[in-house]
Structure formats: structure tokens, C-alpha cells
Structure 1
């Protein structure tokens, strides 16, 4: 039977998983979250946060929403705003891909691009300062504040966590990327309350301060923060694994060799899951699920561009990526 919708929020594929054993040689199932009109998992949190604001009466017809985003949440909120008749102002920074910025603008959003990081809070700190200024200068602007908004994690508590539990009743380990930590907190809370035996592993990027490590250069948008998100309760994560950005690129290239064009956040999560499973031999035969937050269309001019990778990480990293792909080809022969 044909699926017929009148609103873009009515379509989201929530039961598609990729068996990664042939792609990366690891017993891991990847939950694909990018098959919706926003192209990422962020559509769930965006709809939840806006819906809660509508129900409270704070957001009324014709209202203006403002949010800081490195890309995916900005696109998701652009979809929600366009579908419900709101204005949306997104504050992003130079790391946001051109494709994501153009998508937001095509959906009618106003995009502000921060070019200089804050001395202490990095690009995120600078973006938050711009959001605060916009709200001060424009009466009626409503800041969703995804970094502290409980709707961010509640959307995943209601959907993503239960979806995994239904698809894999025997799941033992779940790998979740940490950005704003909405997905992490929602899923971790769900499993803590309903399946406490499941191990929750957070995946973060090197250079992120989320779990107390020092700040460092990060070029790939999505995971990691330069300001610890207020909604994070680290006690819900049983372990944390860190991934370098060159390893993110390598993992994306390995996956695309097998026809799976995923985004940088997904590459980071898969790389972290693979590393953790390799170091925890007892879980080698465990039923493990990782969440893929996005697809790769927004990363064609960065992660999948040879010149960008060479400029960002050096020619040796590009050579390593080429070697990884060549090794996969040889293994398939």
C-alpha cells in the first residue's frame, strides 16, 4: 500500500538496520536514522521541542524560533518551522557544510555564520553569545536551547530507545554518539529504566569537552562540543570511547566502498563501536547496535573530498584512507 503524507514530519524510517560484518568486519547492527525529510535523527528532537513549546502556549502561530546548530539540528528545525508556519533563525559557524546551510536557506530559514571562536567556549560559545544577542534585540524570538531542553532527550526516550529494544530484544550493547547528548540521554534513560542490563557506550570525538577532556581542534560538525551540555548526566553512560577525526574519515571511506554513504557523525560512531568491541573481547559475540545519526550528502565537500581531507589532516592521512579502501578491495577479491 502506498504511503501518502501531507506533512514532512509524518515520514521517518525507524526500522532500517545495516549488518556491518561485511563492511567493517565487526558484529554490529547500524540503526539508520537519516531517511526522513531532514536527513538526520535530529528531526525527532526538533519535533519534540517545538511540540512542547506549542502545547505550553509559549509558541504561537507566526512565531520566530532561534537556535544554535552545527548543521543537522538547523536543517531539522528548518523543516519543522516550514511545515508549521514559523520563522526560524539558525546560528551556525564556518564548520557547517555549505550543503546544510543551503538546505536551511531553501527551507526559508535565516542563517548566521560565526567566523571566529570564543576564547574559552570555542565556536559553540560564540554561537550561544550570538543567540543571546539576537533574543535581546528582537522581541518575540524564542530560543529552543537544545543543550538544556528536556525535549531534546524525551524525543529519543519515546522513540529511538524503544525502537531498538523492539527490533533487538536480545541487545546487549548500544553505541550512541554524543553531540548535544539528546540522543544519548534519551536512549540511556530508556534502557536504564526498562533494560538496565544493556551496556550504554557513548562515542565522542577527540577535542570535545563533553566528558571532561581538554578542548581541541575539531573540523567535522556533528559530534563533540566545546561547552558541556547541561542536559548531560554522564552517570547514564557505562563507558566512553573517543575517536580522532582522521579515523572518522577512514571509517566513512570504508563504508562507502560498500555502497553506504553515511555522514561524519555516523563514521565516528561506527569507528568508536569497532574500537570498543575489539578491546572488549567478552562482547565479541554480543548483539550490538550503533545509531547512525545521518547520511553522507552533507559531507561530499568535506569528508568525501580528497583535497579537503588533505588540507585538514595532511597528505599522509589521505594516503592512509586510500590504503584502507585498497585493503577492502583486496579482501573482497
Structure 2
């Protein structure tokens, strides 16, 4: 094992889970959570911060600011703490409480927006808040994961080559779509590869990333309430949309086999399983990317009250009508309103609200 002095210097990128016994189809799951940030977002965060430092955008007195539903915020919190920067994460009420507390434990400030944008989501509100901060004080530096080429370049340089080395006969790759950084980096790499690889994007139902009508989304990580600026659909062969109850059922299905994964992973695996069931997949080499693990979802998708409150008593019912056993107990979940609000950073715009998060919302 390596000896490191910076937390971002370690990232295990060569661990795969064979899911055939769980999903009933040949599928390898690339696990991206084994680093000190706990998710695939460490790669993009590293790339964007290093580029900003190289270009002279980040200085000693800079305050990093970014809009994030959770995982990128944790990755930037860790990097900022290690490098001595201040960091403000602008998120919304869908952000898991454990994720917020983790960012604050690393010394970051967390601002939660409560007002929805015109699409019924929070992303537009988050971005407007970030823009107003940057206009109010030139010490704020917004990396903008939604438009920053470093977001996809990181996966072009790391994630895709890691898969290619392990699976030189790869046929189909399933990638979750949020900002589409992972999707675009991998798709661009395999477009140039020695053999054709089918790129299947997996999106959350209710997301408008690939068009369609917006709908309620309660699980953070995948999906967008606007078209991702990084997205180039010419690199994508197919798009699958997964309903949140299917995400939840897949997460619990894997947990019953000892693998506790997050909501993004449940969505990707559910979409991949559906695709493989509709195709002659016996001779295909198929890989899906798991962005994170499940510990940060214990008070949401693995908690009985949260599930029943939002999706009804039958959300975990199997095809034969019998329920899957539910992880977690019936105790009430600590609401983010029960925690003290974060202290504001200097010179925040007076017009920006700092309302507490709501437990339930639409996006």
C-alpha cells in the first residue's frame, strides 16, 4: 500500500464487483468510492483545482465556491482542507444530512437554498446564488463543474483508461448522467478506442438532461433540471431513464447481498439490468460505473420512514408482491432543520436568503 501525505493522493480505481449473481445478467460494477472523499467526484475535483492553480485563478486568499448536491462538495471540502483554501458549498434540501455534516467537519461552509427555480428544481437557484457571491467579492472562485472541461477531462485521463486496461474486449458501458462529466470523458475516450463500445447513459426519471418534462426527484446525484452544458449527445448511443422506486429497490437488492451502494449506483445498476434483460447479453462484456457507496444514504433510501413517506408502503414490494426487508428502523430521522445553520462567509449579498432546508421537496 502507498504512503501518502495528502488525502487526494490515494484513489483505488481497479476494484470491480461481479453482479451476475445479483442481477441475473453478466455485469461488472466499477467501484469509485474507495478514496478519502468517498466518491468518483474526487477525480473531477482534483482536475479542476489543479487547473485553476496552474492558471493562476486560485490564490492564497481565494475562497472556493461550488454548487453541488453532495459528492463534489465533499471532494472539494477535502481538497480545500488539505491545501489551505476556504470552501463554500451551495446545495439544496435534497443533500443528505450526513453529507452536509461531513463537509462541515472538514471545515467547509454549507449554504442550503430553499427556493425552486422556474423548472421546479433547485439548480438554477443554486447557480444564481453562486454568481451573486462572485459578483460581491472577487476572492470567490467558482470552478463551475457544469461548464469546466476539467470535469470530463479527468475521466478521459483516468476512469476510461482504467476500464480499458481491465476489459480490453468491452462491449457496452453504462454511465450515470448528472453534469455528464464522467459520461463525456468516458464516451470520448472509447470513441477513439480500437473497437466500438456502446455507450449507454443512465438518467433519473424527471431529469431534463436529455429533454422531456421535469418531474419530482428526491435522490441526489444523477439528473439535471437543465440541459448539461458539457453534454454532446453525438457520443451517446442510448439513454435509459430510471424511476426512483426502481433505484431504491435495486439499492436494497444489492444490500441484501452485502453491498451497500448509493442512490446513483442503484440507478445505474437498475438501468443496466433492464437494458441487459432486453438484449442478448450472454456474450457481451458489460461494465457499469458506481459513483459512491451507501453510508451517506442511511437516513434516506435505507430508512423506513423516509421511504414510506415519499413512495408509499409498497415501494419495496417485489414482483411477487412480497416486500424486501428494509434496512434501518422506525426511529425518526434527524431533520437538517434540527442542526445549527452555518455561519456566513464575508460580504454575502444581502438579498440572498439563508433559509433552512425542508425535509421534502421537488426538483
2:235 is matched with 236
1:189 is matched with 188
Q: Quick check: 1:254 aligned with 2:256? A: no
- Considering fraction of residues, name the structure with more helix: 1
Answer with 110-119 or 178-187: which moved more. Answer: 110-119
Following TM superposition, the consecutive aligned residue runs of length 4 or more in structure 1 with deviations greater than 3 angstroms are 318-326
1:204 is matched with 203
CA positional deviation for 1:3: 2.5
Do 2:317 and 2:324's aligned partners in 1 also have CA atoms closer than 8 Å? no
Mark the CA change 1:169 to 1:324 in structure 2 (over 3 Å): closer, same or farther: farther
CA positional deviation for 1:161: 0.3
CA positional deviation for 1:196: 5.0
The separation in 1 between residues aligned to 2:179 and 2:33, in whole angstroms, is: 17
What secondary structure does 1:316 align onto? coil
Do 2:53 and 2:59's aligned partners in 1 also have CA atoms closer than 8 Å? yes
1:103 is matched with 102
Mark the CA change 1:120 to 1:188 in structure 2 (over 3 Å): closer, same or farther: same
CA positional deviation for 1:285: 2.4
The separation in 1 between residues aligned to 2:192 and 2:117, in whole angstroms, is: 38
Deviations 1:92-132 (A, max 9, x none): 00000000000110111110001121123621111111111
CA positional deviation for 1:83: 1.1
Answer with 96-105 or 186-195: which moved more. Answer: 186-195
The separation in 2 between residues aligned to 1:10 and 1:4, in whole angstroms, is: 9
What secondary structure does 2:58 align onto? coil
CA positional deviation for 1:228: 1.1
The separation in 1 between residues aligned to 2:69 and 2:87, in whole angstroms, is: 15
TM-score (norm 1): 0.95
2:37 is matched with 38
2:132 is matched with 133
The separation in 2 between residues aligned to 1:135 and 1:93, in whole angstroms, is: 19
Do 2:67 and 2:127's aligned partners in 1 also have CA atoms closer than 8 Å? yes
Answer with 117-126 or 67-76: which moved more. Answer: 117-126
The separation in 2 between residues aligned to 1:68 and 1:240, in whole angstroms, is: 25
Q: Quick check: 1:285 aligned with 2:297? A: no
The separation in 2 between residues aligned to 1:117 and 1:55, in whole angstroms, is: 36
Deviations 1:134-189 (A, max 9, x none): 11122210111100100000000000000000010111000000001000000000
What secondary structure does 1:294 align onto? coil
Q: Of 315, 318, 328, which aligns to 1:317?
A: 315
How large is the Cα RMSD of the aligned pairs? 1.4
What secondary structure does 1:122 align onto? coil
1:276 is matched with 275
1:74 is matched with 73
Answer with 247-256 or 74-83: which moved more. Answer: 74-83
The separation in 2 between residues aligned to 1:118 and 1:255, in whole angstroms, is: 35
Answer with 313-322 or 237-246: which moved more. Answer: 313-322
1:221 is matched with 220
2:25 is matched with 26
CA positional deviation for 1:63: 1.5
Gaps of at least 5 residues in structure 2 are: 326-363
2:172 is matched with 173
